[in-house]
Amino acid sequence: MTRPLPYGRQVIEDDDVAAVVAALRSDTLTTGPAVAAFEAALSKVTAAPHAVVCSSGTAALHLAALALDLGPGDAVIVPSLTFLATANAARYVGAEVVFADVDPDTGLMGPEHLDDALARCGGLAPKAVFPVHLNGQCVAMAALAETARRHGLAIVEDACHAVGSQQELSGGWQPTGACGASDMAVFSFHPVKTVAMGEGGAVTTADPRLAARLRSLRSHGMERDPARFTQADEAFDADGSPNPWYYEMAAPGFNYRASDISCALGTSQLAKLGRFMAARTELVAAYETALAPLAPLVLPIPKVGHCRPSWHIQVALIDFAAAGISRAKVMRALAERRIFTQVHYLPVHRQPYYRSRYPGVTLPGADAYYDRCLTLPLFVGMTEDDVHRVAQALSEVLG
Ligand SMILES: *Cc1c(COP(=O)(O)O)cnc(C)c1O
């Protein structure tokens, strides 16, 4: 029986298991040293002054929206070609989503799409943009930030696909997460992403004030720093020293903490990022060669010059109409060969919730990308032979 090829999966090695076991045997299962160690490691990898780990990429997006004080009457511009959570984060805080279009070939949002979305904000106050580094390729952040800043927008990069990627800014190349052209960047460490924590996420920022707010919001809105206490009568003893039990809350936060168990796994995995990225890059190159004979029916995602990508998924753009077979039929036929594909993503503005909340939105770039995209298997541990097996199967199925 041929082995199954999922579109993505984690790689857990013996030292990852050992790291988790050590965390389980330690004195603290949460809010302990493994959390700080993971944050330090992520800071280093992303060159971000501050990294705040949390329970998921979705929680990270929610925390970012809260830290910016987004709320009712505000517009958050989100590319339609993304996972649900990017848009939902705006709705969690009562802000409205204005969906932006994307490039039909890369799926990335550009400054022209931001301009177009800004023109559709109506009576809302445009406050923020959440660009998405789709597939592990970065949005052109220098150009996008220029437009965003001109309109006074805050910028939160959804880098859930893109840990390890680098982006070209005016000052040179920077790791995604360093926030050289943004306020915050958000990561996910879900098992299909390049680095796995089980469930986990993080927000990085260069702004110490945002970092402090994110830390407080991730843990109920609790403030434990006596320098920031506001109720002296409750907070301090008669001699002026802080009461040992005291903490205070200015506004309710959440429990979005990540445990020491998942952070231990995250640190162990993050140390392998270079190796994981190199393996994925090689597989993507192998796909490009193996699929080349199927052009122009099957095309790779074009590479953008302003990004050194960290590939999260392997997407092929397929002209299903010209091939005379539906995408659903192709996926079923591949699944019969134990090749499991996926579609990333149905444009979020076409989800029933958003369709009824914001009727009449049409985004031709997102639709054109969606019509052709198919995510093929890509994971560390796949071989070049596996890539050839996928290409061969695709060639047979497409006729
Ligand atoms: C995975 C993902 C998220 C959500 O991350 P979780 O850790 O699964 O909550 C958000 N945005 C994008 C683009 C993602 O791929």
How is 234-258 classified by DSSP, letter by letter?
HHB-TTSPBPTT--EESS---B-PP
Q: How confident is the model at residue 68 (pLDDT cuts 50, 70, 90)?
A: very high
**Residue 157: band (very low, low, confident or very high) from pLDDT cuts 50, 70, 90:** very high
Mean pLDDT of 255-278: 98
Nearest to 15, CA basis, from 264, 263, 199, 268: 268
Alpha-carbon gap, residue 169 to 145, rounded angstroms: 10
Instruction: Render pLDDT for 41-60 as a digit per residue (tens, 0 to 9).
Output: 999 999 999 999 999 999 99
Q: Closest ligand 1 atom to the C-alpha of 312?
A: 15
What's the confidence (pLDDT) of residue 14? 98
Q: Which band of pLDDT confidence, cut at 50, 70 and 90, is reported for residue 236?
A: very high
Residue 1, number of CB atoms within 10 A of its CB: 4
Give me 284's structure tokens: 């993507």
Whole-angstrom distance, CA of residue 23 vs CA of residue 256:
19
Of the candidates 343, 380, 340, which has an alpha carbon nearest to the alpha carbon of residue 5? 340
> Could you read off the pLDDT of 15-40 as tens digits, one per residue?
999 999 999 999 999 999 999 999 99
* pLDDT value of position 330: 98
For the chain, the average pLDDT equals 97
Mean pLDDT of 239-262: 96
98 confidence band (pLDDT: 50, 70, 90): very high
pTM of structure: 0.97
State the pLDDT at residue 379: 97
User: For residue 324, what pLDDT is reported?
Assistant: 97
For ligand 1, residues with CB inside 6 Å are: 56-58, 82-83, 85-86, 132, 158, 160-161, 188, 190, 201
SS3 category, 32: coil
The whole-number pLDDT of residue 352 equals: 98
Query: Rounded to 5 degrees, what are φ and ψ at 282?
Result: -65, -40
Write 259-262 long-range contacts (CB < 8 A, 24+).
259/29, 259/30, 259/35, 260/23, 260/26, 260/28, 260/29, 260/30, 260/31, 260/32, 260/33, 260/34, 260/35, 261/20, 261/23, 261/24, 261/29, 261/30, 261/34, 262/189, 262/197, 262/198, 262/199, 262/200
For residues 165-189, average pLDDT: 97
Whole-angstrom distance, CA of residue 26 vs CA of residue 21: 9
Alpha-carbon torsion angle 315, 99, 176, 341, nearest 10 = -20
Question: Tens digit of pLDDT for each residue in 186-230?
Answer: 999 999 999 999 999 999 999 999 999 999 999 999 999 999 999
275 by Cβ neighbours in 10 Å (0-12 / 13-18 / 19+) ranks as exposed
> CA separation (Å) from 200 to 85, 126, 191, 233?
14, 29, 9, 38
The whole-number average pLDDT for the span 121-135 is: 98
Q: What proportion of the chain, given as a percentage, has pLDDT over 90?
A: 98
Q: How far apart are the C-alpha atoms of 339 and 187, rounded to whole Å?
A: 28
Instruction: Answer yes or no: is pLDDT of 163 > 80.
Output: yes
258 vs 280: CA distance, rounded Å: 27
- pLDDT given for residue 78 in this prediction: 98
d(C-alpha 176, C-alpha 165), whole Å: 6
CA–centroid distance, 109 to ligand 1, in Å, is: 17
Q: Are 201 and 57 within 8 A, CB to CB?
A: yes
Handedness of CA 370, 376, 377, 383 (dihedral sign): negative
* Owner of token pair 């843990």: 219
Please check whether residue 116 is in contact with residue 100, taking contact to mean a CB–CB distance below 8 angstroms.
Answer: yes
H or E element: which one contains 352?
Answer: helix 352-357
25 within 8 A of 176, measured Cβ to Cβ: no
d(CA 311, CA 379): 10
Higher-confidence position of 367 and 171? 367
CA of 89 to the centre of ligand 1 (A): 11
Output the six-digit token pair for 98. Answer: 């204005």
How confident is the model at residue 94, as a pLDDT? Answer: 98
Q: Summarize the confidence of residues 61-65 as an average pLDDT.
A: 98
Number of H helices, E strands in the chain: 15, 15
Per-residue confidence (pLDDT) for residue 213, from 0 to 100? 96
What is the pLDDT at residue 237? Answer: 96
pLDDT of residue 253: 97
Q: What is the pLDDT of residues 344-360, one digit of tens each?
A: 999 999 999 999 999 99
Q: How confident is the model at residue 294, as a pLDDT?
A: 97
pLDDT for 20 equals 98
Catalytic residues: 193
Distance 100 CA to ligand 1 centre (A): 18
Q: Two tokens at 346?
A: 């149905």
Taking the C-alpha atoms of residue 252 and residue 4, their distance in angstroms, rounded to an integer, is 46
Confidence check: pLDDT of 1 > 80: no
pLDDT of amino acid 166 = 98
- 52: tokens are 């705040």
CA of 27 to the centre of ligand 1 (A): 31
Question: What is the pLDDT at residue 259?
Answer: 98
User: What pLDDT, on the 0 to 100 scale, is given for residue 283?
Assistant: 98
